[in-house]
Every structure is written in structure tokens, then in C-alpha cells.
Structure 1
Amino acid sequence: MIRRAWFSVLLAIVLAACGSDEPSSSPEPAPDVTTVSDATASDASPTACPSGHIEAPDGECMAVGIQGCDDMFIDPETGLCDPGFSDCPPGHIPIFVGDDQGCRPVGLVGCHEDFFDVETGLCDPSLTPCPEGWMPVPTQGCVSLDPPGGCGEGTWGSVEAKAGDVYVDQGYLGGGSDGSREKPWTSISSALSAVFSGGRVVLAAGTYDEGLWLYESISLVGRCASMVTLSGVRSGAVGLTAVEVQPPGPGAAVDVVISDVRISAPAIGISVHSGARLDLQRVRFEDNTKLGLVAGLANTVVTATDILVARSAGNPDGSSEDKFVGSHGGISVQLGAMVTLHRASLEDNQGIGIYAGDEGSLAAIDDVFVTESKPRISGYLGRGIHVQAGASVSAKRVSVLDNKDIGLFVSGDESSATISDSVIARTGFNAEGSYGLGVYGIEAASLGLERSIVMESQNMGVFVRDPLTSAILTEVLVARTHPGEVGNLGLGIHAALESSLELHRCGSLDNYGAAATFYVSQGSVIDSILQGTQEAPSGNFPPADGLLIIQSSVNTNRVVARQNVRAGILYHDSDGEVQESLVTENALGLIGQGNPSPTVSGDNLVVDNDQNVFSGGSLEVADEPLVLPDLPDYE
């Protein structure tokens, strides 16, 4: 609430040149500076002027602050727009401009009630652990990986007979095997030799210790994933593999369906490449070496539904590790392949949960958990989603939780990630005690986040850097980033080193150092709330500001900066425009230091700060150069 009279309403201002080469002084306000002082709440009450206006010294009503606010955000005592996070429940952003105002839910809207944390707004599978043979799906709760009708009775369970079926039962002892339902083969290799293109190989319960090469258009169907395990190994195009899907020759086509099996082998679970097409349904990848699934080369297409990928890891002695970043983890998409993933859980994989690399590679992800990725034996990685070298990821309804190093990483020209209705939370430091970044974009990458939450990262919530790197955040909440105990930053949102960042209808809440920082960069902050920034107890970046702009060009329009320990909005050697904003309940309101300085319009409301704006005297801020951030040298 705006508690007092309008101590300073900024109409136009020449900001104090703190930090410049000129000696400190207390100059008189420039002729175009106007302040309104000693007004009372009744002087500017809604009965005297319409909502969003106060009475100016000449008696006319003057528009100040954010215009067009919904009644729920209007301070009834003043008639002015006064939005804050206290107006909305957890997991919501106050939308205070436009025709769709109100408390907007962000994050994984539609999260199943078993996983929804009402105190944070996160979609968290750890709230209701799933039983063995089930997996968490964000919108569905715990989902069985067995067929809808269960495993059924008898040798073949609920698998109905179809023309062209060839049957395998490793426990069959009757002799005279011919691949029929009554006299099945006892090995998959025998069935593969007998099945025709378009047919099915149907597996009875058992553990099949055979490495498979699938080069015909067939279906491999298990009785159910809880009863059928593929554990064999063969030497394939990418090394040791349990199942390899590959056309028989250049230019040939192959369409394979694999369903209702578990794959667990001392090898990569499935390798599909060279233009093959693979449809996966109800498949469990567990405890494989290096990767659960890898797809590679142009025209290779994988569609996967109801998939669990868990505990993929290198050899315990680290002997299987190599330097290629996409060689360890849950799912790896390389060299122009495409993977569509729907209703899945990637858990406790070593290296990276989902990797997409190389020009033309695409991963499309929907309704997926990516949780608890671990560093390699060497201490490297532990990331949730990693995109590089021209690849693209499109994700919606994804919850990326409790990973190490980086939650979402996007690197390289033409690399892009578009994330919507998702959660990236609790990203921790890697094994070396660094990174801890929720979202990180570098080297000309393109990043878009919509209606999402980035919460409780251990160093920075969102960090973009480098020339041509661009990020657009729309209706994104970045909250409770913390610096840890090793001198990291704790920043909410940070753009650096000639990158571009746009914030639209965003919220940054209860972070350390700064809610949003621009450092030698450019962008805009529009219709957003920057609130509750604290001073880092052990970080190397002490300010605690709402919006901190350093040697950058940034436009600020309809921004609420409130309850930050130091400054609400601070421009240092930076330009841009500040319009129609509310800066309140900070130690310092609106500050400009050095050259250039921003253009400030006459409709900003800077009120109820310990010191509001430069107004006939020097600001209570050190007349010395601002301490610039010591950025981590992340590769």
C-alpha cells in the first residue's frame, strides 16, 4: 500500500551525476524538475481526481503511475495503482495492465493435485513418490507403464493376436517352435528372421539377453514393461547398444514400433539413426550405460509416449566417459534427428537429462519431468536440458527440478529453446561448487520463456550473455534465487556482455543482489514487478536493487519496483526511458549515475522510499564509481 502522501512525483528530472568525474555537489533542481510535496491523502483522494490521478499544484488532475489498473490493484485510500505479490497467491503473477488483468497462474498449470505444492506453485513429483513400475507425469499423476488393461492372464496376457504375429517365449519347453502362439520361438533373433515387414514380434514375460538390430519395418511388443526386459548388448554404430534401429541401406526406409518392454543393459538402451523412424510406447529405460536413448542424423524421427528414462550412467570407474557433452544422460538428439516426447519422466541420469545438439536437431517435449540429473564421475555437468550447436528445443508443461549445474542451457548461433507453462527449480551447484544457474543462454543463442517459473536456483535464476544472445521472457516468475555459501551472486535475472533481454509481464521476487540486472547489454522491462531484493550475505555483488542497469540501454515502462533493500531503479552510465512506473518502499527510489542517463517521463510515481529522487540536493549514495559485478567466467 502507498502509505503516505506523494512525497515526490517525478515529472521530468536531470538525475544526479554520482560516480561521474565531476566533484560532489548539491545543485539546484533543473528548471523542468517538478515535485509535489506536503499533499495529504485527502488532497489526492479518488473523489478529487479519477483513479490513477492526483491533484497537481495548479489544481488540475495529473496522471501518475500505472494507468488503467483493475480495481483489485487500486489502493482504496489513494486511488492509485499499487500492485504487489501480496495481492496474489503463490505461483501467480499480478497482471495489472490490459484487458486480462488479475492474478495469472504461471508454471505448470494443470499439474496433478498429487504433485502440486500450494506453498510454492511448483509441480513436484517428490511430494507423492510413485510405486515401482509407475512413473510421475506432471498432469496425470502416477502413471502405470503397463498396458491400459494391465498385464493380463496367461502367457500372452492382454496382447490380442493379429495376422503376421511371430511369438517369442524364452521359457517355452515344448519343442517344435514355429513362431506361433502355441509353439513360440525361444529367442528374439529367431523371430526377427521369420517376421515379415509390417508384422509384430510378441514377447512373453522374461529377460532376453540378446542385443537387437532392427532394420525391417516391424513392431516389437512385450506382454508388459514390468514383465519383459531386454538386457542384451551388441556393437553398433555408436558403440555398445541394447537395441539399434537402422535402415538396411542408404536411402532405405524403416518404421519400427517398440512397446511394453523394459530396457536395462550395460550399454546404450536404444540407438536410432540414419533416417529410421521409431515409435516408442510404454517403455522403461533403466540403469543403462551412458544413455537411455540416442537419435542421430537427418530424417531420423522418434515419437515417444509414456516413457521412463532413469539412472543412465557411465561405468563406475569412469572408463566410459568421453569429452562429448551429449554422450551421457537420459536422451540425446544429434546431427539433425528429431524426437517428440510426450508424457515422460527422466530421473537421476548422469550428465544431462535431455540433450539436443547440431544444426537441424529438434526435441519437442510435453508433459515431462526432468529431475535430479547428476554430474559425471569427473564432476562435469548434471544438467536438466542442454541445447547447443544449432539445435532447437520446444517444451511445454515440463518440470525441471533438482538438477545440478544448469537447469536449461542454450548455446550457439541458431540454437534456440522455447519453453512455456513450465517450471525450472532448485538447480544446485555442480561438483566444483559453481554454476547453479536456472536458465543460461550464451554465444548468440535464442531463448523464449512464457508463463513459467524459475525458482530457488543456487546462483542466478536467468542469465544471458554475449553478443547476439537474445531472451524474451513473458509472464515468467523468477523467485528466491540464493547465493549459497561460496560467494556466488544470488541474482534473479541477469543480462550481460552485449546480450539482449526483454521482460514483459514478469515478476522477480525475493532474490539477492538484484531482481533484474543489465550489464553492458540492452533490452526492456515492461509491465513487470521487481520486489523484495535482499543483500547477499556472502556474495560478491552487494547492492540489493530492484532494477540495476549498468552501461546499458534499457527502456522501463509500467514497472513496479518495491521493497528492495537498496534502490528501486538505478541507471549507471546507461540510457533509456523510464515511463509510468511505481517505485516505492525502497531505501532509494530512482537513481541515475554518470553518463549517459535515462529520459524520465512525467508520469512516474516515486514515493515512500527512504529517499525518493534527486530533488534539490545530492542523493544519499556514495559519490564514487559503482562497484561492477565480478561475473563468473563460465565456458
Structure 2
Amino acid sequence: MTNRLHFASLAALLAALPIAGCGGSDALATPDCGTYAEAPEKASGVVYVSASCGARDGDGSVERPFASIQQGIDASVGGGAVLVDAGTYAENLSITKPVQVLGADKAGDPNNASIIVQAPSAYAITVEGASDVLLRGIIVQKPEGAGIRVQKSGRAVIEGSRIEGAIAVNEDGHGVMASDNASIIVQRTIIVQSEGAGVHVNAASAQVERSIIVQSGALAGIWVQNALDEVSLVGNEIRENVSAGISILGSRAIIVQNQVKHTKSRAPGGVADGIRVLGDGVMGESYVEIGGDLPESTNMIEGNDRAGIVFSGERARGIIVQNEVIGNADDTTRGAGIWVQSKAGTAPNDDQSVGIRIEQNRIEANHFLGIGVTSGARAIIVQNQSINGTIAGDIKVNGLPVKIGDGLGVYAGASAHVDLNTFAGNARVGALFDGSASTCVLTNNTFEKNTAGAIIVQNVNGAFDYGDNKGDISVDPPVAPILSDPSEL
């Protein structure tokens, strides 16, 4: 059961504008000017800022607030708070000391964010080398490069804020970015229509929790590369992004309670994966847990145009446990609900076991394949209650049209241990092994009402362990044509 917040619709969020002088129930209204948050109890000092009635010669008091947020930051002491009235601030912010920049809503609801930053230069808000920074209740509109950039060992919490329409500059264009040994915690924040990634993490640490990240135009909704420690992605809504909902490269991550939906490609037939995990000799090792042993860990991975989940590369490891993987791969892009490829799962886990563990998931109504394992990859596929209803997709093999719609496809030297699963109602067969390793095991599974039969095994050298399967069982002889290696997603 997810704990994510149920925010208003995206259209309403983009249309809503904060009303100057209005705040949440924890706001402090003064008889002089503005509406402010209450001062944090442990703040070492407080200054006030108001766009509507602050002055260049203000002193930061509630009676004579500063006119700009940067004035407030510069005047604050380490550990202090800058309380900002609702309004529009046409400035870039540079934060190099421990400070809190707070809008009036203490609850941290992005719908009540009231500080609008319209930066005239690239990188609207930069946190550099400072720890214990809190940014709450800020709207950053159309920033160039990034809405909020945290770098050079900076440490920042971003809460109850919105970043809208980040514009690409050079290789950036991200809603929030962290690099160079920085650390970010993004909570209850909305990031929409970034031209790069919604959240971009490179050589840094990150937690992203209960946030909405939508319509990023390149890379991914969340992009993580060479993270310093385990990245935590919990309870987020990640949808309608381009290329990937979440990309993990050479990093460790735990992904639970998220909705990852409707990823699109840049061009027809292009890359469009819900969650993509890459690990090889260039990017480094990735270990990612998608879901977990507790029922409340479930992710919903649905309607992504190419694949729901992809593990790729000889140094990609991890688990896919107790998730809903529904309706991924459209009828024009060859894909799968879950795809394990390019020697993924061959590097030993901490307990020296090998194989991507795919367990207790519901894998239904995906195009082409429910699960694909190919190109020397290894998977342990056990106790999935449904690998069902795979929809046939049209491809050509040697110029001949072929329909593929299999619950499981294991190809090209790949290996799979398949035990205690249910394969039902798939458009072609329940399980196909074509050129797979002879070490595959297929035991104790149930096959029901698969259109062309239960199992096809062909081009496999050596013995093949069928075990004791049950239900609507048929083992067909080799058939052709069959795509011998659909590994190049």
C-alpha cells in the first residue's frame, strides 16, 4: 500500500498561481507587511523577505523586510532561517552556508508553494559546499540548466516545491541536479516538463520520496549515475517521461512504492523503458532492488512503450519482487514486461548466487514477451502468480511476418531457473526456449490456455530439464521461423 500523497491533477497544478499574502495554517501574518512561516524553533536567527513591500535598505526585520531572497541569505547567520513572503522574485540564488529558505506553508504541500523564482541566469538556485540547507515552498519557473543545483559536497533538502519547465543548457536541463559529492533529499515536490531529467544525480547521493516527476523530455524522469551510496526512490509518481522513467547506471538503488507509467520514446520505435538498470565495465556495477519481500513495497510499472523493466550488462544485478508489471511494450516496439539481457545477472551477488531474481510479481498483458532473458543473461523466475495474457506483436524474421506473444522467452545462451509460476492465456506459448543454455530448469509450473501450447524448446544443445509441470501441457517440436535473438532492445 503506497504512502504517496494524492496531489491535484497536473493541469490544475500548472494553472494554479499562489496568492500574495496567503499562507498555510502555520503562517504568521504581521500588521506591517506579508505572510510568513513561523520561525523554526532551533534557528540561530531569522530574517524576513517580501517582494511586495521589502526594500533595498531594509534590515531583514519583520517591520522592514528585505526585497530579495539573496539579501536575506547573505544577511543570515549559519543555521538561520530566511522567511519569504509570497510573491515573484526575479533573481538567482547562491547558497554557501547552512540556511533554511521557507515559504509560508509549514506542511510542505507543493500546491501551497508561494515563492516564485524567475531566474535571469542559468542555474536558478545553487547550493555549493553547504550542509543543512532546507528549501521549502519554492516554485522555480523555466530555469535554464537546472531549477536547483546542489554541488561540491552541498547537502540540501527540497520540500514542498515545484520546478516547472527546466530549459536545456549545454548537457543540462534538469529540474533538480546533484553532483560532485553532493547529497539531496527531494520530498513532496513536483517536477514537470524538464528538457533534461526531472532529477539528475551524478557522483552524488539522493533520496526522492512522495514526489511527482512528469513529462521530462530526455534521459529519464530520474537519472542516477555513479551514485556515492544507495539511492532511495520511495512512493513517487513518475509518468509520461521520455526514454526512461528511472535510469540507474553504475549505482545501487532501492525502488519501492512507485508508480512508473507511460514512458515515451523520442521517435517511433525508440527507447522507452519504465525502469532501466545498466551495469558493465564502463559504467560500473549496478545493484538494484525493485520492490521487496513486504507487500507494501510494490511498484506499479504500467504502459511503458518498450519495456517495463530492463536489466542489461554483465555487472547488472538485483531483484524484481512483488511488483505489478502491466501492459508494457506497445504494438509497434519490440519489448517485454521484464527484459534481462546482455549477461545481466552473471556477476555474483553478495551471497555468491547468480541471476536476476524475478519473484512473486504480477506480469500481465504485455506485448511480445511477459519476461525475456537473452544474450547470456541469467534469471531466477519463481513463484510469480501470473505471467499471463501476453499480447502478440508483429515482427519480421528473414523477411517473413511472425507473431510473438509468449509468457517467457529465453534466447541466445541465456539461462533461466523457472519454478512454481503460472503461465496462462498468452497469445502464442507459455514458455519458449530458443538457443538457450542447456542448464535451464522448468519445473513445477502451471500452464493454462496458452494459444499455441505450453512449451517450445529448440536449438538447445544437451539435456533440458522439464521437471514436473502441470495443467494444459504440450511440448512442441522445433518450429520456424522464430526470432532467435531479440536481445537488441
- CA distance in structure 2 between the aligned counterparts of 1:359 and 1:342, rounded to whole angstroms: 17
> What does residue 241 of structure 2 align with?
373
Mapped pair 1:244 → 2:99? no
- CA distance in structure 1 between the aligned counterparts of 2:28 and 2:215, rounded to whole angstroms: 31
Residue among 189, 192, 195 paired with 1:307:
189
Residues 385, 582 of structure 1: alpha-carbon distance in 2 compared, 3 angstrom cutoff? same
> What does residue 402 of structure 2 align with?
none
Q: State the structure with more CA Rg.
A: 1
Q: How does 1:551-570 map to 2 (within 5 A)?
A: 551-552=435-436, 553-570=439-456
Instruction: Give the Å deviation of 1:569.
Output: 1.9
> What does residue 517 of structure 1 align with?
409
> What does residue 399 of structure 1 align with?
259
Tell whether the 8 Å contact from 1:460 to 1:481 is kept in structure 2 after alignment. Answer: yes
Tell whether the 8 Å contact from 1:369 to 1:400 is kept in structure 2 after alignment. Answer: yes
Instruction: Give the Å deviation of 1:175.
Output: 7.7
SS at match of 1:419: strand
Q: How does 1:465-476 map to 2 (within 5 A)?
A: 465-469=341-345, 470-476=355-361
- CA distance in structure 1 between the aligned counterparts of 2:95 and 2:410, rounded to whole angstroms: 52
Tell me the amino acid that sits aligned with residue 457 of structure 2: Y
Instruction: Give the Å deviation of 1:216.
Output: 0.3
SS at match of 2:257: strand
Instruction: Give the Å deviation of 1:161.
Output: 3.4
Alignment coverage as a number of residue pairs: 414
Residues 148, 183 of structure 1: alpha-carbon distance in 2 compared, 3 angstrom cutoff? closer
- CA distance in structure 1 between the aligned counterparts of 2:56 and 2:120, rounded to whole angstroms: 27
Mapped pair 1:295 → 2:178? yes
Instruction: Give the Å deviation of 1:131.
Output: 7.3
> What does residue 351 of structure 2 align with?
none
Mapped pair 1:384 → 2:245? yes
Tell whether the 8 Å contact from 1:353 to 1:370 is kept in structure 2 after alignment. Answer: yes
1:535-585 per-residue CA deviation (whole Å, 9 max, x = no partner) reads xxxxxxxxx11011122231122101111111202222434422332131x
Mapped pair 1:590 → 2:475? yes
- CA distance in structure 1 between the aligned counterparts of 2:344 and 2:162, rounded to whole angstroms: 40
> What does residue 463 of structure 1 align with?
339
Tell whether the 8 Å contact from 1:264 to 1:286 is kept in structure 2 after alignment. Answer: yes
Residue among 538, 542, 547 paired with 2:431:
547
Residues 473, 147 of structure 1: alpha-carbon distance in 2 compared, 3 angstrom cutoff? farther
- CA distance in structure 2 between the aligned counterparts of 1:560 and 1:329, rounded to whole angstroms: 42
> What does residue 502 of structure 1 align with?
380
- CA distance in structure 2 between the aligned counterparts of 1:465 and 1:129, rounded to whole angstroms: 37
SS at match of 2:160: strand
Q: How does 1:405-424 map to 2 (within 5 A)?
A: 405-413=272-280, 414-420=285-291, 421-424=298-301
> What does residue 427 of structure 1 align with?
304
- Tell me the TM-score normalized by structure 1: 0.61
Give the gaps of 5 or more residues in structure 2. 16-21, 106-111, 168-172, 265-271, 292-297, 346-354, 393-404
Q: How does 1:63-142 map to 2 (within 5 A)?
A: 109-110=1-2, 129=9, 132-133=12-13
Q: How does 1:32-47 map to 2 (within 5 A)?
A: none
Mapped pair 1:169 → 2:62? no
Tell me the amino acid that sits aligned with residue 301 of structure 1: S
Tell me the amino acid that sits aligned with residue 419 of structure 1: I
SS at match of 1:567: coil
> What does residue 95 of structure 2 align with?
214
Give the gaps of 5 or more residues in structure 1. 1-108, 116-124, 136-145, 235-239, 248-252, 314-327, 375-380, 429-435, 483-489, 535-543, 594-621
- CA distance in structure 1 between the aligned counterparts of 2:468 and 2:23, rounded to whole angstroms: 57
SS at match of 1:577: coil
Mapped pair 1:346 → 2:217? no
- CA distance in structure 1 between the aligned counterparts of 2:325 and 2:126, rounded to whole angstroms: 37
- CA distance in structure 2 between the aligned counterparts of 1:569 and 1:558, rounded to whole angstroms: 13
Tell whether the 8 Å contact from 2:148 to 2:176 is kept in structure 1 after alignment. Answer: yes
Residue among 105, 114, 119 paired with 1:227:
114
- CA distance in structure 2 between the aligned counterparts of 1:359 and 1:220, rounded to whole angstroms: 27
- CA distance in structure 1 between the aligned counterparts of 2:435 and 2:487, rounded to whole angstroms: 18
Tell me the amino acid that sits aligned with residue 509 of structure 1: N
Residues 111, 211 of structure 1: alpha-carbon distance in 2 compared, 3 angstrom cutoff? closer
> What does residue 528 of structure 1 align with?
421
Instruction: Give the Å deviation of 1:295.
Output: 0.6
- CA distance in structure 1 between the aligned counterparts of 2:248 and 2:449, rounded to whole angstroms: 36
- CA distance in structure 1 between the aligned counterparts of 2:483 and 2:424, rounded to whole angstroms: 21
- CA distance in structure 2 between the aligned counterparts of 1:182 and 1:295, rounded to whole angstroms: 37
> What does residue 202 of structure 2 align with?
334
The percent identity for this pair of structures is 19
Tell whether the 8 Å contact from 1:156 to 1:223 is kept in structure 2 after alignment. Answer: no
